[in-house]
Structure formats: C-alpha cells, structure tokens
C-alpha cells in the first residue's frame, strides 16, 4: 500500500509540473510584430492651454501604424516590452474667430512614437487581458490658412501613455487585439526650419481605441 501511495504521489507530481508550465500559453510569448488601426482623438486640456470658447474641441481622426514587442512568462503572468509608430488623419477646422484655435493654432496630428511595457494574465488559455504604460512623443503639424499641412513647422510633445486591452490568440502564431489608450502630453517645443524653441508646459489629452493584428516568431 505504501508503494502504491508513493507511486500515486510521483504520478501526481509529474502531471502537476506540466500543468504549472502551461499556466501561460506559449502562443503569448516571444517576439511579435503587427499593424494597428482605429479612432484617434486629440484635444487641449485646461491647465496650460487656451480656454477661449471654441478652442477646447476634439480633433478626430483615423489612427494607423505598426507595433513590435517581446513578451515572456513570469509566474503565470505575461510581461512585455513594446514600441509603436503611428500616424493620424485628424485635422483642425479653420476658425477665423480665434487665431489660437485648439491652443496651438491650426494643426494636424502627425507621427506618434511610443515605447513602454505591458503586463497581463490569461482570462482563458487563448485570451490575454493586459494593462500598459510608457512614454509617447507626438508631433502636431502646423497648417497654413488654406488648410495645407506644412511639415517643416510643428509642435513636438512629450508625455505618458496608459491603457488596457484584450488579445486573442488565433492559431499558433497569429493574434488579434482590442485596446484603449489615454495619453497626456505635458511638455512641448516648437520646431521651424531646423530651429527649436525652449520647452514649454502644455496639457494635451489623447484618447485612442484601436484594433490590431499580428504574428509571433
């Protein structure tokens, strides 16, 4: 009887080890690359930017870009490093009543660079729920009075980003995700013909909802 008990204990240990190793689906670990697209909304805050009536309105646009990352398993959780490059189709409308429209003048959101980390847990073996945080640097391209974008003149903003999302594993190396992010930019400088002003304080908010698809290697 003692040998039977020992045998059962050894067998249970042998099954328990693989079970623990499978807490994190390997489909959620390793390097990844993907594309993202969705809704982008930029607007000035109220602590530093203009509060003139008509300024504080959202500049809506279509977000699109690429992202890369590397995820690994730690004690049943998924931790990862990630980077993203996106652009937006958003553009302010001409408002002749106020030259300080939007708090920056007439602008169009430009490229946005993000680097950060994320952490998540598996809601199901194929579904990852995660939160993220990191640094973001964005451009606001200055527009002429006719609405054309002048890429030689822009504001460059620095800030932070936080967000949350759900990622679904599809097969062994493909995934899809749905994500919400909030960014706040607190520092900016103005760049014109290679010259850069000293940094100044701003309070600019950005809300984004996107979907993404990608592959792991």
Domain ranges of the chain: 25-216
Distance (Å, whole) CA 44 – CA 157: 12
Task: Output phi, psi for 49, to 5 deg.
Answer: -90, 175
Distance (Å, whole) CA 151 – CA 160: 24
Higher pLDDT, 199 or 178: 178
Higher pLDDT, 194 or 69: 69
Give the model confidence (pLDDT) of 32-45 as tens digits. 999 999 999 998 77
Give the model confidence (pLDDT) of 202-212 as tens digits. 889 999 999 99
Residue whose structure tokens are 């400088």 = 189
- Classified by CATH at the fold level, domain 25-216 comes out as Porin (2.40.160)
């Amino acid at each position: 009887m003692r040998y039977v008990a020992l045998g059962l204990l050894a067998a249970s240990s042998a099954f328990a080890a693989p079970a623990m190793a499978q807490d994190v689906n390997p489909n959620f670990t390793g390097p990844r690359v993907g594309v993202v697209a969705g809704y982008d909304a930029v607007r000035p805050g109220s602590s530093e930017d203009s509060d003139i009536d008509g300024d504080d309105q959202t500049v809506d646009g279509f977000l699109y870009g690429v992202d890369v990352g590397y995820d690994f398993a730690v004690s049943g959780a998924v931790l990862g490093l990630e980077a993203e490059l996106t652009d937006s189709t958003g553009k302010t409308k001409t408002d002749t009543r106020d030259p300080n429209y939007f708090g920056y003048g007439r602008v169009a959101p430009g490229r946005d660079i993000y680097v950060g980390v994320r952490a998540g847990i598996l809601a199901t073996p194929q579904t990852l729920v995660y939160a993220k945080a990191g640094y973001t640097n964005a451009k606001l391209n200055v527009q002429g009075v006719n609405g054309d974008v002048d890429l030689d003149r822009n504001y460059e903003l620095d800030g932070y980003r936080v967000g949350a999302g759900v990622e679904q594993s599809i097969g062994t190396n493909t995934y899809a995700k749905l994500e919400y992010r909030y960014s706040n930019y607190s520092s900016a400088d103005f760049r014109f013909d290679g010259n850069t002003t000293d940094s100044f304080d701003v309070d600019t908010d950005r809300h984004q909802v996107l979907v993404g698809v990608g592959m792991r290697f």
